[in-house]
Amino acid sequence: MKKISVLLFIFCLNGSFSLYAQSTFNRTPSSLKAAPPSANEKPQINSPEFYGTRTGKEFFYQLPVSGQRPMRFEAEHLSEGLKLDKVTGIISGKLEKAGRYTIKISAQNQKGKAAKDLTFVAGDKLALTPPMGWSSWYSYGRKVKEEDILTTAKLMKQYGLEYYGWSILEIDDPWTNQPGEKDPVWSAFKTKTENKVYEYHEGPGNLTDRIGPTRDQNGVLLPNKYFTNIAQTVKDIHALGFKVGIYSSPGPLTCGGVAGSYQHEVQDAAYFAETGFDYLKYDWCSYGIFAKDNSLEELKKPYRLMGTALKNQPRDIIFSLCQYGMGEVWKWGHETDGQLWRTGDDVRDNWKSVYHAFKMLADKSAYVQPGRWNDPDILQIGAVGAESREGNSNHLNPQEQKTLMSMWCLLSAPLLIGSNIEHMDPFTLSLLTNNEVIAINQDALGKAAGLKYTLDNQIEIWSKDLYGGGFTVGLLNPTDQEQNAEFLFALIGKNGKYKVRDLWTKTDLGSGLQQISSKIPPHGILLLSLKD
């Protein structure tokens, strides 16, 4: 593998550049496959207005600011207990007393300066806006390795994704070991299920190179041989400004068939915190065999157990429930101290699957608020073929991928990039770095859009209100033909006259408007913001 030296420079405010650090690393391509957007522009602060942290818990927050590097960050009225790294823009520390702490952040580069108020809300809520990041599942699938995560972090930084708020890298299945053939876990499964789950997991040996001891003599979970230096990797990724997520199951086996947290929940939560993880995706998988029945209590139990264990750790750890919507999880996920919950099955890169995911959430906006998010699944945007073993592929056309991104933003869904960043292309990057589109996902009011009206030609009107007044609308065409949308705002109870902006093209379409008419391509969307 080719080694590449990288020189990092700090921009000093007198306008000169100084040598900051030199590091070598593997696997990062010498040239990027798409130009990082805004790389030559003045700073643009993309952070939402609020950031939630638990009182007395350690956290860190990379200020998401796009624009030319190097950049210099400042914070006025920085609260006691927090510190700002003026070069990286990382704020870290803890807030010992519950309350709201507003600071003025500013960012300066050679092209100009930007400033914005940011309020830290210390209390018991995390993820006041939907979590944003990347997941390894559709990009590296069952072959995921530690070095893939580090490579992705470096690339996400180089592409500038971090500066738009993509802040968490989630290591999905399978990072632990599969129990060996003689391990009692397998015989327990066999007797409990008359071989069914045993077959589902293809039995011991479906991951031949990831078989081994699952825990050490003290019961501490062991990463498999592709994650031998996991604590250091987490540190390295933190140093790049990203949070790191991890994956487990309340059952003894994850969906991929490697060790989960069953009967080790508190110990695993402590291990996740000590290793430095900031996020846990907790996937039901084999737990069903061990739950007594399908009652609500049994569905909640494993999530309560882990949610409490995470809350007791000394650092903020976001808790992502993955149980595919069982028991209408959107109604009670927050009771388990979770911040996001999958609302259905895995979404795939075909229109039927993604459209079904939209419709699932058409009537569930009432359950969404800051710190409580319906999660339709990982974004099927870009090269998502790893899990289906098709590598650099996506069966959604560009229009459909744009609609998907728009709908996830309207729905205030967690945004986890599914694609392999090594295969980045200009179109994918453009979908992931439109700050006006992302802003409606990260809107501080924390509402989710619902399906408000359907026109005669099946055009669907999805809408939600925005922080500070105004609202956003998506005109979605689910049909296979181009349609003309004639949309009177009064149809959704908006009786005023509005200034209308197209968020993807960032163009104003007019002011004093009461209606809009536009052609919408098949499976396409027009995404608008409207203000008085």
The residues carrying an active-site annotation are 283, 346
Region 162-181 residues binding ligand GLA, contact defined as CB under 6 A: 172-173
Using the minimum distance from each CB to ligand GLA, give the nearer residue, 346 or 422.
346
Residue 340 touches ligand GLA, criterion: CB under 6 A: no
Residue 346 touches ligand GLA, criterion: CB under 6 A: yes
Region 371-400 residues binding ligand GLA, contact defined as CB under 6 A: none
Helix (H, G, I), strand (E, B) or coil at 116: strand
Q: How far is the CA of 140 from the CAs of 73, 106, 159, 222, 498, in angstroms? A: 35, 37, 19, 20, 45
Asked if 459 and 475 count as a contact pair (C-beta separation under 8 A), the reply is: yes
Token pair of 406 as six digits: 């728009």
- By CB under 6 A, name the one of 37, 131, 223, 256 that touches ligand GLA: 256
Region 429-468 residues binding ligand GLA, contact defined as CB under 6 A: none
Quick one: DSSP state of residue 211?
Answer: B
The distance of closest approach from Cβ of residue 132 to ligand GLA in the complex, given in angstroms and rounded to an integer, is 17
Residue 357 touches ligand GLA, criterion: CB under 6 A: no
In the stretch 125-164, what mask flags binding to ligand GLA with x, by CB under 6 A? ------------x---------------------------
Looking at beta carbons, which pairs linking 154-157 to residues 24 or more positions away fall under 8 Å?
A: 154/25, 154/28, 154/240, 155/28, 155/32, 155/421, 155/422, 155/424, 156/242, 156/421, 157/240, 157/241, 157/242
Cis, bond preceding 70 (omega within 30 deg of 0): yes
Region of 38-46, 209-217, 254-262, 493-501 interacting with ligand GLA (CB under 6 A): 254-262
Using the minimum distance from each CB to ligand GLA, give the nearer residue, 48 or 414.
414
Helix (H, G, I), strand (E, B) or coil at 407: helix
Cis, bond preceding 174 (omega within 30 deg of 0): yes
Using the minimum distance from each CB to ligand GLA, give the nearer residue, 64 or 418.
418
Residue 344 touches ligand GLA, criterion: CB under 6 A: no
- By CB under 6 A, name the one of 132, 144, 153, 255 that touches ligand GLA: 255
- For residue 463, the surrounding DSSP H or E stretch is strand 460-465
Q: How far is the CA of 124 from the CAs of 85, 117, 192, 307, in angstroms? A: 25, 22, 39, 12
- By CB under 6 A, name the one of 322, 386, 396, 437 that touches ligand GLA: 322
How many whole angstroms from its chain centre is CA 494?
32
Q: Which residues are CB-contacts of 490 (< 8 A; sequence separation ≥ 6)?
A: 514
Asked if 504 and 532 count as a contact pair (C-beta separation under 8 A), the reply is: no
Q: What's the count of helices (H) and strands (E) in the chain, helices before strands?
A: 11, 27
Using the minimum distance from each CB to ligand GLA, give the nearer residue, 328 or 346.
346
Using the minimum distance from each CB to ligand GLA, give the nearer residue, 173 or 278.
173
Using the minimum distance from each CB to ligand GLA, give the nearer residue, 25 or 324.
324
Residue 283 touches ligand GLA, criterion: CB under 6 A: yes
Using the minimum distance from each CB to ligand GLA, give the nearer residue, 309 or 322.
322
The distance of closest approach from Cβ of residue 306 to ligand GLA in the complex, given in angstroms and rounded to an integer, is 16
Using the minimum distance from each CB to ligand GLA, give the nearer residue, 107 or 255.
255
Token pair of 192 as six digits: 């409990």
Q: Where are the alpha helices (DSSP H) in 240-325?
A: 265-275, 296-311
Cα–Cα dist 521/516, whole Å: 16
Cα–Cα dist 513/490, whole Å: 11
The distance of closest approach from Cβ of residue 115 to ligand GLA in the complex, given in angstroms and rounded to an integer, is 39
Using the minimum distance from each CB to ligand GLA, give the nearer residue, 74 or 346.
346
Asked if 300 and 335 count as a contact pair (C-beta separation under 8 A), the reply is: yes
Region 470-529 residues binding ligand GLA, contact defined as CB under 6 A: none
The distance of closest approach from Cβ of residue 141 to ligand GLA in the complex, given in angstroms and rounded to an integer, is 9
Cα–Cα dist 368/340, whole Å: 9
The distance of closest approach from Cβ of residue 172 to ligand GLA in the complex, given in angstroms and rounded to an integer, is 5
Region of 13-21, 251-259, 302-310, 408-416 interacting with ligand GLA (CB under 6 A): 251-259
What is the amino acid identity at position 350? N
Instruction: Determine the size of the site formed for ligand GLA (CB under 6 A).
Output: 9
Region of 30-38, 162-170, 250-258, 456-464 interacting with ligand GLA (CB under 6 A): 250-258
The distance of closest approach from Cβ of residue 256 to ligand GLA in the complex, given in angstroms and rounded to an integer, is 4
Instruction: Tell me how long the chain is.
Output: 532
- For 56, left (φ over 0), alpha (ψ -120 to 50), or beta? left
The distance of closest approach from Cβ of residue 30 to ligand GLA in the complex, given in angstroms and rounded to an integer, is 32
Judged by the rule CB under 6 A, the positions of this chain that interact with ligand GLA are 137, 172-173, 254-256, 283, 322, 346
